[in-house]
Every structure is written in structure tokens, then in C-alpha cells.
Amino acid sequence: MSGASGRSGGRKLIVAGGGIPGLTLALALAQAHGPALAVAVHDPALPAGAGRHRGRAYAVAAGGRRMLAALGIWERLGAAAEPITEMVISDSRLADPVRPVFLTFGREADAEDGTPFAHMVEAEPLAAALLDACREAGVALVARGIARLEGAGEGAGDGVRAVAPDGTAETASLVVAADGARSRLREAAGIGWVGWSYPQSGIVATIGHDRPHAGRAYEHFLPSGPFAVLPLADGGALGHRSSIVWTERSRDVPALLGGDAAEVLAEIERRFTPELGRLCLEAGPHAYPLSFGIARRFRGTRLALLGDAAHVIHPIAGQGLNLGLADAAALAEAVTGALRLGLDPGSDAVLQEYERARRFDTLAMGAATDGLNRLFSNDALPLRLARDLGLGLVDRMPVLKRFFIGEAAASRGAQPRLMRGERL
């Protein structure tokens, strides 16, 4: 499968990986530069299109929404984007008869432009919208991966050869590794990886329920990890739907998910909020191991790391996709600045600019999510008392609330132009 590729410019950029951050970067650059920059996305899974994303959903923060709006994607999503209008945070043991609420975010969490601080968006319609827009913008969609780069040594000149597994090769000014946490291109470039595995797994599923969620999200902290209920657009067998992100001890996952559908649903009901009534399974559950990791560098010779190829964090704050979108915004801005000055978009100066823009933010978010998980995923009484006191204080202090809202909405500090809703 491929899109239009009849560009006449002398520069080419290849994105290795057709996930959402990679497609977003490709679209941003294709829209900004037209025929002056040939953009291609290589991924062997592209024939499956958006279908490979089925059953997954993301919390898109305000900064990501502004970026997608600037690229013309948000309007294509329409009702598929469900606003989060309230967040309710509780902390208890599974068997406790009462779940005390320690922290809530309501309309005070709205972004500066009055829109919700985050929306829930299912991955399948988001990927479909990006693929359609990429085709329209002339991005070449190539159904094969990139196995290695050749000519990426110190004297790489003005290009590098990106070689596919079948031996075919293309020359590009810059290759972007968006090929996931086990990035083949990152490893081939000799870029180190620092990280560790958690003794936890993430479980995701789409749940149908017969009472409306009214845009309310729940995060219930249990000793094994958080159980989040996140609002989705209406539909399904019972009329209303939510996504769950359930963190559980890995050793317990086979027993929890190994039964029939009724037994699995019963385990979900033990953790789910009773406010949404009768439940059914719409999709999933699917489990995956959780880990933390960050690349020692976000760049190599004519190579930039993007999304999970650069960093993986715990899903406790729902910020994984937002970090990837911020990567795409920062790299698109650095490349665009170079091209408009007639400079080499794959030069080390451009890649250093990208790395400076993203490394601190990534480290800070990774440390925050790791710390939150260690603080909340346990049943130690002193820690329970301390964290519940802390949540209560935040709930009663508007200044602290606004700080945490700004962090969650990706609205604090210097942001790339696309994250501010400005076109390149």
C-alpha cells in the first residue's frame, strides 16, 4: 500500500514505523513543505491500516488536541473524541466496603481556551484519520520496514541509505526511528537504553454499561496498582462505553483473565464503579507487561528517535501518547526551521535541537510516573496515610490543583508551535 509520492524536491525524510506519533510527524512535515520534502512512512503492518489499533484508546491532553486540530485531524474525529469533564480519584483496598474520594478535578481543569483538559480517543478512528490525511498530503505509505541504515558513519555526507529487509534501499536526509520500544534502528545505531521492568501488567478493555458516564473518569488506587475507568463515545450493546486501564501484579494476571467471559467480567465488576450500572465486555481484555525505559540519546547520525523508541513510561498518568505527540511536534519544528533556512534537516545541529527540546520533559514525566506508581501500588499503612493526606491537601489548594492540571494537560512550559495550535 502506498500513497502519492510524486514529489520533486531533493530532500527526503523516512519515518520507520506507522504508529500514531510517526504518522503525525509525517503529516505535519508533508503539510508544511509540500513538494520541497518527500516524506515516506515505512511499516510492514501498514496493509492492516487502522485495524491493528482496534480496542485501544488514549487520553489526548489539551496540547495534543491543539496539535491534531492544527493538522486538520481533530475535525475528522467528530463524536469519536469524548471529553473528560471530571476526574475522581479514590484510594482503598479491594475488599473495603467504601471507596473514599480524596481528589476531584472538575471544570477548573479546563484548558485556557475553555476546552476540557483531555479527551478520550479510540486509537482506531485516530489512526484512520491520520492515514487518510497522510495519503491526501502525498506521504508515501510503504508496506515494508527498515532493517538497517548504511553510510551512517561520521562522514555520512548529505544522506543515509535506508535498507529494507528485502534489500531495496532509499536515500534520505533523515530517518526517524518510530519503531517501538524494541527499536531495531536504535539498537543498530548503538544507542543505549536505561530501564527496568515492573512486576505489573497493564490490562486494557472496552466496557459497555447501561448508565451514562457524563464524561466522568475514575482512577481507583488499589494495592496492586491503579484501576482507571475512562469515558468513551456512546455506543455498544448497552448504549454507553468506557475504557479501562487496569494495573495488576503480573503473577496474578493468568488467574484473573484465565476464566471464561463471565468470570473475567466478574473480576472487572469488583473493581469498576457501581455508578454506571450493568456491565458487559465490548473488547478485550488484553494484557501487556509494564516497564520504564529511556534512550541514552534521542539521536544518532541522521537518525532521530521518536515515541516508544525513545522512551517508555508507566501508564499511571496516561501520558505515553502525549509524550510521543510532543516528540513529533518538536522534531517537525526543528526540521522545518532548518529547511526554511536552506539547511540540512538531518544535520547534527538539528538533531541536537530536537534532543534538547524533549529530553528534560521526558525524564521529568518518566520520573513522575515511576514515583507515583511506587507510592500508590502498595499497601503499606504509613504510605497510605501520607498519600491520602497529600491528595486531600491538593484537593483543597487551588494553586496546587492548577499546577497538576497544567502538567496533565501538557500546557506548561515552552511548547512547540503545533502544541500551541499553530501551524508550522
Q: pLDDT, tens digit, for every residue of 68-110?
A: 999 999 999 999 999 998 888 888 788 777 777 767 776 554 5
Residue 137 and residue 64 in contact, taking contact as beta carbons nearer than 8 Å = no
Give the span between the Cα atoms of 179 and 181, in whole angstroms. 7
Percentage of the chain with pLDDT > 90? 68
Residue 90: its pLDDT value, please? Answer: 84
Calculate Rg over the CA atoms of the chain: 22
Residue 227: its pLDDT value, please? Answer: 94
Short-list 286, 268, 243, CA closest to 84: 243
Average pLDDT (52-77) is 90
Residue 5: its pLDDT value, please? Answer: 38
Residue 222: its pLDDT value, please? Answer: 87
Residue 177, pLDDT > 80, answer yes
Residue 8: its pLDDT value, please? Answer: 38
pLDDT tens per residue across span 376-400: 776 666 666 665 555 555 555 454 4
Residue 72: its pLDDT value, please? Answer: 97
Enclosing H/E stretch for 343: none
More confident call, 5 vs 41 = 41
- Name, in order, each residue with C-beta under 8 angstroms of 86's C-beta and a sequence gap of 6 or more: 104, 105, 106, 214, 215, 216, 217
Which residue type does 108 have? Answer: E
Percentage of the chain with pLDDT > 70? 83
Residue 6, pLDDT > 50, answer no
Residue 2: its pLDDT value, please? Answer: 40
Residue 214: its pLDDT value, please? Answer: 95
Short-list 170, 265, 164, 157, CA closest to 209: 265
181: cell is: 520500544
Lowest mean pLDDT among 45-59, 171-185, 227-241: 45-59
DSSP tag of 159: -
Short-list 302, 292, 305, 301, CA closest to 25: 305
For residue 317, name the pLDDT band (cuts at 50, 70, 90): confident
Give the span between the Cα atoms of 321 and 312, in whole angstroms. 10
Which residue type does 164 have? Answer: A
Residue 39, pLDDT > 60, answer yes
Q: How many CB atoms lie within 10 A of CB 51?
A: 11
Region label for 172, one of left (φ > 0), alpha (ψ between -120 and 50) or beta (otherwise): beta
Supply φ then ψ for residue 409, to 5 degrees. Answer: -85, 0
The average confidence (pLDDT) of the chain is 87
Residue 240 and residue 212 in contact, taking contact as beta carbons nearer than 8 Å = yes
Cis? peptide before 44, omega within 30° of 0: no
Give the span between the Cα atoms of 225 and 253, in whole angstroms. 13
Residue 22 and residue 146 in contact, taking contact as beta carbons nearer than 8 Å = no
Average pLDDT (408-417) is 67
Average pLDDT (162-167) is 93
- DSSP symbols for 380-403: -HHHHHHHHHHHHHHHH-HHHHHH
pLDDT tens per residue across span 318-373: 888 999 999 999 999 999 999 999 999 999 999 999 999 999 989 988 888 888 78
Residue 111: its pLDDT value, please? Answer: 54
Residue 312, pLDDT > 50, answer yes
Q: How far is CA 79 from CA 159, 217, 265, in A?
A: 43, 18, 27
